[in-house]
Amino acid sequence: MQIGFIGTGSMGSILVEAFIQSGAVSPEHLVVTNRTARKAEQLAESYPGLQTARSNKEAASGSQLLFLCVKPMEFKAVIDDIRDVVTPDTVVVSITSPVQIRHLEKLLPCKIAKVIPSITNYVLSGATLCIYGERMTDEDQARLELLLSHISAPIRIREEHTRVSSDITSCGPAFLAFFVQKFVDAAVAATGISETEATQLAAEMTLGTGRLLTTGGFTPASLQQRVSVPGGITAEGLRIMQKELCGVFDDLIRTTHAKYDEDVEKVKARFFSP
């Protein structure tokens, strides 16, 4: 099976590299293209056998599975390029949350899926959020999830939960990294511990916490309770966080949703304006 990638920016290249490095796909079965051709060529130079296409049309024709890894407002141009070469059997995967499946189904005569990846897929972990259009059969869905399972935990979600789910899985790594950075900065400023040492400690802590919450049988609440020795230090720290962070996440989700709603409308206007 040939798998095509249109857009080898940050996320497109992460997915290509993750699929190759996980052993899920050999480079010979991948074809990539990018508006700035050099980017795709550089990726191909790192993985002998990886093919580059000179146009979106060329990448799409012959690909049974085609990932569109461009930003929301760049979608229309790509759709126009590939419309005539995709077939009813082609599976087109959008990795872009504000592009609605029903709109893609109107514009393209093929099967449509939306898969929201995460930078965590680069290290073959984290989730990929899966949403399917009506033309995707059970077999298509199972085949795609088998592929994604090499680099992630594929999780099916409802399309109306795309934003909030990807706030957690895709934006979340940046939000968590912000938290880690602030923790490290404060530790360095208060005590003189080196930034390198504090960052290493924080990174190991983050990894271990992730494991406790995935395979360790803990929930966020039970983990806090278990670490908070009665009369101990953690409870004092949690008290400060409860006071200072109250409301921050409500604001965050309100803000990401407002930006998303704006993007959905802009994409729709671009798709369907005369």
Ligand X SMILES: O=C(O)[C@@H]1CCC=N1
Binding residues for NADP(+): 6-11
Residue from 4, 12, 133, 154 in contact with ligand NDP (CB under 6 A): 12
Q: How far is CA 120 from CA 9, 15, 67, 210, 250, in A?
A: 16, 10, 18, 12, 24
Q: Which residues contact 36 (CB under 8 A, 6 or more apart)?
A: none
Given a contact cutoff of 8 angstroms between Cβ atoms, the answer to whether 61 and 87 are in contact is no
**Tokens 């803990």 -> residue:** 218
Per CB under 6 A, contacts with ligand NDP among 50-89 are 56, 69-72, 74, 77-78
User: Residues at the annotated binding site for NADPH?
Assistant: 56
Strands 91-94 and 111-116: parallel
Nearest distance, CB of residue 67 and ligand X, angstroms: 15
Contacts by residues 47-53 (CB-CB < 8 Å, ≥ 24 positions apart): 47/16, 47/17, 47/20, 50/16, 50/20, 53/4
Residue nearer to ligand NDP on the CB measure, 29 or 163: 163
Residue with smallest beta-carbon separation from ligand NDP: 9
Per the document, the length of the chain is 274
Residue nearer to ligand NDP on the CB measure, 119 or 235: 119
Tokens of 175: 């939000």
Residue nearer to ligand NDP on the CB measure, 169 or 187: 169
Give the SS3 label for residue 16: helix
Residue from 21, 22, 35, 172 in contact with ligand NDP (CB under 6 A): 35
Residue from 20, 51, 63, 117 in contact with ligand NDP (CB under 6 A): 117
Residue nearer to ligand X on the CB measure, 62 or 172: 172
Nearest distance, CB of residue 116 and ligand NDP, angstroms: 5
Nearest distance, CB of residue 184 and ligand NDP, angstroms: 22
**Interface with ligand NDP, residue 39, by CB under 6 A:** yes
Q: Which does 227 bind (CB under 5 to 8 A by kind): ligand X, ligand NDP, none?
A: none
Facing residues of 153 across strands? 127
**Interface with ligand NDP, residue 95, by CB under 6 A:** yes
User: Residues at the annotated binding site?
Assistant: 6-11, 56
Tokens of 4: 């095509």
Distance between CA 259 and CA 26 in Å, rounded?
38
Residues making contact with ligand NDP (CB under 6 A): 6-12, 34-36, 39, 56, 69-72, 74, 77-78, 95-96, 116-119, 170
